[in-house]
Structure 1
Amino acid sequence: MATYEYRCRQDGSFDVTLPIGTASPTVRCPRCGAPAGRLFSAARLARTPAALREAIDRAERSAERPDVVGRVPGGRPARRSTNPAHARLPRW
């Protein structure tokens, strides 16, 4: 669904929510019933939270230049398993 903006000559601007691509050039004003023309306006963008914006930026940067990781994040050393079957697994 998309929100389209229309302007009535008598009552001013109002919004209509319709499926994308189905907006007509004119609709009836919900207040007076007169024909209202469609306005072409800027997209309504919400402000992205800082943490989400940083995560998106980091993901975009890593697509071209991936970060090299030298250790597991968090600082805790990995525990060694005592299961003998795990000893045959490859180490990296």
Structure 2
Amino acid sequence: MPIYEYRCPRCDVFDVVRAMGAAQGVDTCPTCGGPAVRRFTAPHLARTGTAAFRLLDATSRSAAEPQVVSGPLPTADPRKAPLSSSNPLHRKLPRP
């Protein structure tokens, strides 16, 4: 659930945990009971070093910044490829 920040003119800043989109523009201060105006602040982002987050970061980074290939790609030698399959089920397939 998101944390919303409110500022009371008489007291101080306080946080309220509410469902997404359920925050009001004005809320009551828990200390004095007066009206407190909602503040728009930067979201609280967690900086974790777990393997799952590193994998997600690498995946999103590779979409915009793919790794550069430093040499030619390996090519398949057509002379080494078998001309026919040894699987007996392939014999039933139609020929071109």
The structure with the largest strand share of the pair is: 1
After TM superposition, what 4+ stretches of structure 1 lie above 6 angstroms from structure 2? Answer: none
Query: C-alpha displacement at 1:47, in angstroms?
Result: 1.1
Report how many aligned residue pairs link the two structures: 70
> Partner of 1:36 in structure 2?
36
**SS of equivalent to 1:24:** coil
1:13 corresponds to 2:18: no
Whole-angstrom distance in 1 between the partners of 2:41 and 2:64: 33
Distance in 1 between the 2:19 and 2:5 partners? 14
For structure 2, the residue ranges without an aligned partner over 5 or more in a row are: 68-86, 88-96
Q: Give the aligned CA root-mean-square deviation in angstroms.
A: 2.8
1:36-91 per-residue CA deviation (whole Å, 9 max, x = no partner) reads: 0000000001112164443223323179858xxxxxxxxxxxxxxxxxxxxx8xxx
Q: Residues 51, 14 of structure 1: CA spacing in aligned structure 2 closer, same or farther, 3 A cutoff? A: same
Share of identical aligned residues, percent?
42
Does the residue aligned with 1:59 lie in a helix, a strand or coil?
helix
Aligned to 1:22: 22
Task: State the TM-score, normalized to the length of structure 2.
Answer: 0.58
TM-score normalised over the length of structure 1: 0.60
Summarize the Cα distance change of 1:12–1:59 in structure 2 as closer, same or farther, 3 Å threshold: same
After superposition, residues 6-85 of structure 1 pair within 5 angstroms as: 6-49=6-49, 51-60=51-60, 61=62, 65=66
